[in-house]
Amino acid sequence: MVVNLFPSETTGPMKMNKLLLLSALVTFGSCTSRSVFDEPKATNPDALPRVQQIMVPPPALPEHDQVAKGGPVVVEVRLTIEEKKIKIDPITSFWALTFNGSVPAPIIVAHEGDYVEVTVVNPKTSSMMHNVDFHAATGAMGGGDLTEVAPGQEATIRFRVTKPGVFVYHCAPGGAMVPLHVASGMNGAIMVLPRNGLTDENGKRVTYDRAYYVVEQDYYVPKDDQGKYKDYDTPAEGFADMIQVMKTLTPTHIMLNGTAGALLNENAMLADVGEKVLFITASCNIDARFHIIGGHADLVWNGGSFNDRPATNYETWDVPGGAAVAAMYKFRQPGTYAFVDHELIKALVFNAVGHVKVGGDWNNDLMEQVAKPHSSQ
Ligand SMILES: [Cu+2]
C-alpha cells in the first residue's frame, strides 16, 4: 500500500501537520528534503565523533555501515605517498606514484553530511611534490592547493561531503604534472553514501552483500630504439619521454587495478549466487565502458549520483574519464565471469579485464545446453 504523506486537505491543523513533518525531515537530515542547491546545516566538526578509517588495498572497501548510525562524524583518513617501481606486466617496469602504495589509491567511504579529514603525508624519501584534488569536495582545486606537500611534509584538510555518490580523487600538482601523476597511478575514489543507504529504482532501500572497487588505469610507457619499454632510475627521469607518448593520446598499457592480472584468477573478485554486489567503477583519465560477460548491471547510478533513481538492466555502463559510477548486480548463476571494458581491444589485447568467481547452483531455467556440440552432418 502506498501511504500518501500529504493528503489533499488544506485545513489549518493539517497544514500544521505538514509543516511539522517537513521540519522534522529537515532537522533529521533527510537527503530527499534538501534542494541540490542547499548545503546541510553547518555544524561544529570539533564537537563531532571522530572515526579513523583503516584504508585497505583495492578492490576491497574499508569497513563501513551502509546506513549511517546517528549524525555526522569526522572520518579521518591518512594518505601516504609512495613512489615505487613496480612491474605493471611481466616485461614492464614502471615508476608508480601512489597513495598508500596501491594503484589505484584506496577507496574512502563516508556518508552524506560527514566531514572527511585527510592527512596527506609525503615522506622525505619522495622525489617530488604531490597533492590531492577531491572531486567530492567543494572548494577551489578540490583541496589541491591546501594539500601541496613537498618531500618531508604533511598537510591535513577537512571537507564536508555534501553530495551523495561516487567520485574520483587524484594528484594535481599543476600543468602537465597533473596527467603525468594521474597516469602514473595517483588516483583513487571516494563513496559518499546517503545517510539512509542506497535506494533502488522504486525508491526502496537496497543493500549490497559485497562491494568491489575497479579502476581502469592507462599508462604511457616510453620505448627505446629497440622497441623495449624503458626503465628509469627515478620517476622524473622518464617524464619528458612520457609526455611524447602521451601526445599520441594512445596508452601503451590499459589495466584494471593497476597491473596485468590484478583481478584475474587467484585475484578474482568473489561472490555467491543470490548475492547483490556493488561495483564502484572509475577511470581518472580515459573513458571506460564496463560489462560483466554473462551478467548485467541490475542498477546503474549514472554519473555516480546516489540521489538519482538508478537506471535498470544495463548490459554495459559508461564511466567517463574523471568520474566514478556505481553499478549493482545480483549474481544468479555460478561460474567465472569476465569483468571487462567492452572496448574489447582494451580488455583482450590490453589488460582491462578481471574475473568474478561466483559459487552456487546452476539454474537451468535461465540457461541450459539443449544439445551438446555434435556433428551437424
Ligand atoms: Cu603526485
Choosing from 111, 114, 170, 191, the catalytic residue is: 170
Spatial distance between the Cα atoms of 333 and 347, rounded to a whole number of angstroms: 23
Q: Would you identify the CATH topology of the domain 53-194?
A: Immunoglobulin-like (2.60.40)
Question: Which residues line ion ligand 1, judged by CB < 5 Å?
Answer: 130, 171, 181, 186
Choosing from 119, 156, 162, 316, the catalytic residue is: 316
pLDDT at 377: 81
Choosing from 111, 135, 253, 296, the catalytic residue is: 135
User: Quick check: is 46 catalytic?
Assistant: no
Same CATH topology for 53-194 and 205-359: the answer is yes
The CATH architecture that domain 205-359 belongs to is: Sandwich (2.60)
pLDDT at 27: 36
Q: Phi and psi for 376 in degrees, rounded to 5?
A: -90, 5
User: Quick check: is 135 catalytic?
Assistant: yes
Choosing from 111, 291, 296, 355, the catalytic residue is: 291
User: Quick check: is 284 catalytic?
Assistant: no
Q: Which residues of 150-184 are buried (b: 16+ CB within 10 A; e: fewer)?
A: eeeeebebbbbbbbbbbbbbbbbbeeebbbbbbbb
> pLDDT digits over 344-376, tens only?
999 999 999 999 999 999 999 999 999 999 999
pLDDT at 4: 39
User: Quick check: is 154 catalytic?
Assistant: no
User: Quick check: is 316 catalytic?
Assistant: yes
pLDDT at 34: 82
pLDDT at 209: 98
User: Quick check: is 355 catalytic?
Assistant: no
Pick out the chain residues at pLDDT < 50.
Answer: 1-31
> pLDDT digits over 134-160, tens only?
999 999 999 999 999 999 999 999 999
User: Quick check: is 328 catalytic?
Assistant: no
Spatial distance between the Cα atoms of 126 and 83, rounded to a whole number of angstroms: 6
* Distance between first and last Cα of the chain: 59
* Spans of all domains in the chain: 53-194, 205-359
